[in-house]
Structure 1
Amino acid sequence: MRCGNLVALLLHGVSALAASLTQVTNYNNDAKAKPGMWVYVPDTVKSDALVVAIHSCQSSAQKYFQNSKIPWHQGSDKKGYVTVWPSSTTECWDVSSKASLTHNGGGDSNAIANMIKYAITQYKIDPKKVFVTGGSSGAMMSNVIAATYPDLVTAVSLYSGVPAGCFVSSSGAAAAWNNTCSGGNSKASPEQWGNVARAMYPGYTGARPRMQIWHGSTDGTLSPNNYQETIDQWTNVFNVSLTPTSSKSNTPEKNYRTDDFGPNVEGIWAQGVGHSVPSHLDASEAWFGL
């Protein structure tokens, strides 16, 4: 009996030590927006990299973390990197207001930037190894973060999003839905899209995060037209041609096509796939260099 109790206690102790998603209640956030910050630190930290995983609409950090199709905490366990999971206070992320579409504007993007800064210090992250990913609304925010805080992010892998600034609200409302953009009718030249991204951090001349852009050809929520508009935007930001430097069919799986536009922009077109494109951990980690 005593032996059984000891075994039970030991087992309980092992369980208590296991890594879990944990809320950070004070991440030094001075932005007006107050999304929640959740962190997953694996039992064995083997990397000084950080991955920020941004959830979709009608979700949360906890739901996104538990979603079996979102594999980032498994990647964290395997390779030993820390992950941050922002949690929105609204149905979708604010990718429409001036506050969120401006560097240090006080919106959701500002708050997520504060999470990144906190994590760099708290978990001894290499500032050159900060990576952002997300799906749908989280992909839109990933694009916005890339434009508003290029100094904080090394690379982005976004699934089923729209160009940064595409969801802008004419009323200035936060987290507003934009039917023109979602329907694929917000079209501009590459230079115009590039200017939209550059205007989010005026005067910035430093490095930009490498962009990996995924989209499904039958997406009924965020039109597949947004894929090309996003490619237009980031190829212009990097001042590279819209003609791929390489193209591979059936990569990373059957009916997917991967187009590289130099080393900093990669587009992955998922033929026959709707909204949202499933996360591909290996391909995203490879883009990040993990």
Structure 2
Amino acid sequence: MKPNLSFLLAAIASLPMLAFSRVLERRYSSTLEPVPGFSPNPTNVPMYLYKPTSFKAGNPVILVVHYCGGSAQAMFGNLPDLPTLADERGILLIYPDSPHLEDHCWDVSSKETLTHDGGGDSTSLKNMVDYAQATYKASEELVYVMGISSGAMMTQVLSATYPNVFRAAAAYSGVPAGCFASPTGLVDAWNPDCAQGKIIKTAKEWGDIARAMYPQYSSRRPRMQLFHGTADDVLLYQDHLEAVKQWSDVLQVDLETPTSVRDNWPSQGLTTTEYGNELVRVVGNGIGHNFPANMTLTLDFFGIL
């Protein structure tokens, strides 16, 4: 068991129970279905798909990445607004399921996953998008990724390893891409220094780490939306500040000159700071690790509402 993992799992233990009550109140046009045997799948990540009856060829696709201790089914249930919006807008939703049985976290630590086409979890998840595009003719341009906790870490890893694939990303309570890197190359390794906000770097140092995951790439990068609570005691608030530095450098925005700062928006206790259309940070004053996910806000940021 990794350090602090039991605490992390306890922090999110209420989520699946909430999911069932919420799902019972909803009526969707389709159901979450497994996709058996998709390939290539180097780390054997199970794939699930929500394909609304309103989906048409060329429509957007969102990769939805769960938290430690979660699952594709739990993530589907815990974000009931997302399939509802998918029904309304004809959006294809992909839900991967972690192959790491001990903790059901994602590998955001190994060299393989932190490298473009390196053969780690990130490669398997990216290949799910390829499968959806080849099989269902989902858009090759309107591709998005979002995640919570470990899924938020993977969201930022995917944005660094496959910037050519994703148009925009939303990370709820995560850490910068590469922050969890294991010095010994272990897969799915817990990094207490990163979790506790002890890894401090300049914006350029963080940006270089992200760019090094796909050094041959020099084109457009995914726009980034970052959510974090100031009272997060699983992945400390300092991790958010480091992630903001990383993506400000990658996206070439000036943190000293935000285009908009709104207190108590979109709800009481939240502060939303925008840096043009490229980088948005939403900070929850006094909110812990379970930052309330706002699918309307995220899909609006993606530009598909």
Q: How does the TM-score come out when normalised to structure 2?
A: 0.86
Q: Output the CA distance in 1 between the equivalents of 2:175 and 2:188.
A: 14
Match of 2:135 in 1: 122
Equivalent residue in structure 1 for 2:62, among 29, 36, 51: 51
Structure 2 residue 45 is the aligned partner of structure 1 residue 19:
no
Equivalent residue in structure 1 for 2:254, among 241, 246, 266: 241
Structure 2 residue 172 is the aligned partner of structure 1 residue 146:
no
Match of 1:7 in 2: none
SS of the residue corresponding to residue 290 of structure 2 reads: coil
User: Post-superposition shift, 1:18?
Assistant: 5.2
Match of 1:265 in 2: 279
SS of the residue corresponding to residue 63 of structure 2 reads: strand
Equivalent residue in structure 2 for 1:95, among 86, 94, 108: 108
SS of the residue corresponding to residue 84 of structure 1 reads: strand
Contact 1:212–1:267 under 8 Å retained in 2:
yes
Deviations along 1:232-263, one digit per CA (max 9) or x if unpaired, are 00010112211222211111111111111222
Number of aligned pairs? 272
SS of the residue corresponding to residue 182 of structure 2 reads: coil
Contact 1:132–1:156 under 8 Å retained in 2:
yes
Q: Output the CA distance in 2 between the equivalents of 1:30 and 1:254.
A: 43
Structure 2 residue 300 is the aligned partner of structure 1 residue 289:
no
Contact 1:218–1:272 under 8 Å retained in 2:
yes
Unpaired runs of 5+ residues, structure 1, are 1-16
User: Post-superposition shift, 1:131?
Assistant: 0.7
User: Post-superposition shift, 1:75?
Assistant: 1.8
Greater mean deviation of Cα atoms: 264-273 or 190-199: 264-273
User: Post-superposition shift, 1:74?
Assistant: 2.0
Equivalent residue in structure 2 for 1:172, among 146, 168, 185: 185
User: Post-superposition shift, 1:78?
Assistant: 2.4
Q: Output the CA distance in 2 between the equivalents of 1:172 and 1:88.
A: 19
SS of the residue corresponding to residue 206 of structure 2 reads: helix
Structure 2 residue 91 is the aligned partner of structure 1 residue 81:
yes
User: Post-superposition shift, 1:70?
Assistant: 5.2
CA 1:235–1:126: 2 relative to 1, 3 Å: same
Contact 2:170–2:224 under 8 Å retained in 1:
yes
Counting only pairs closer than 5 Å after superposition, residues 57-76 of structure 1 correspond to structure 2 as: 57-67=68-78, 69=79, 71-76=81-86
Q: Which runs of 4+ in 1 moved over 4 A?
A: none
Contact 1:71–1:279 under 8 Å retained in 2:
no
SS of the residue corresponding to residue 215 of structure 2 reads: coil
SS of the residue corresponding to residue 114 of structure 2 reads: coil
SS of the residue corresponding to residue 202 of structure 1 reads: coil
Match of 1:250 in 2: 264
Q: Output the CA distance in 2 between the equivalents of 1:78 and 1:275.
A: 30
User: Post-superposition shift, 1:128?
Assistant: 1.1
Deviations along 1:129-158, one digit per CA (max 9) or x if unpaired, are 001011000000000000000001000011
Q: Output the CA distance in 2 between the equivalents of 1:263 and 1:38.
A: 31
Counting only pairs closer than 5 Å after superposition, residues 82-231 of structure 1 correspond to structure 2 as: 82-90=92-100, 91=103, 92-231=105-244
User: Post-superposition shift, 1:30?
Assistant: 4.5
Deviations along 1:56-109, one digit per CA (max 9) or x if unpaired, are 001111121122x45322221222211000000112100000000000000000
Structure 2 residue 44 is the aligned partner of structure 1 residue 34:
yes
Contact 2:54–2:88 under 8 Å retained in 1:
no
Deviations along 1:97-132, one digit per CA (max 9) or x if unpaired, are 000000000000000010011111222111110010
Match of 1:12 in 2: none
Q: How does the TM-score come out when normalised to structure 1?
A: 0.91
SS of the residue corresponding to residue 146 of structure 1 reads: helix
CA RMSD of the aligned region, Å?
A: 1.4
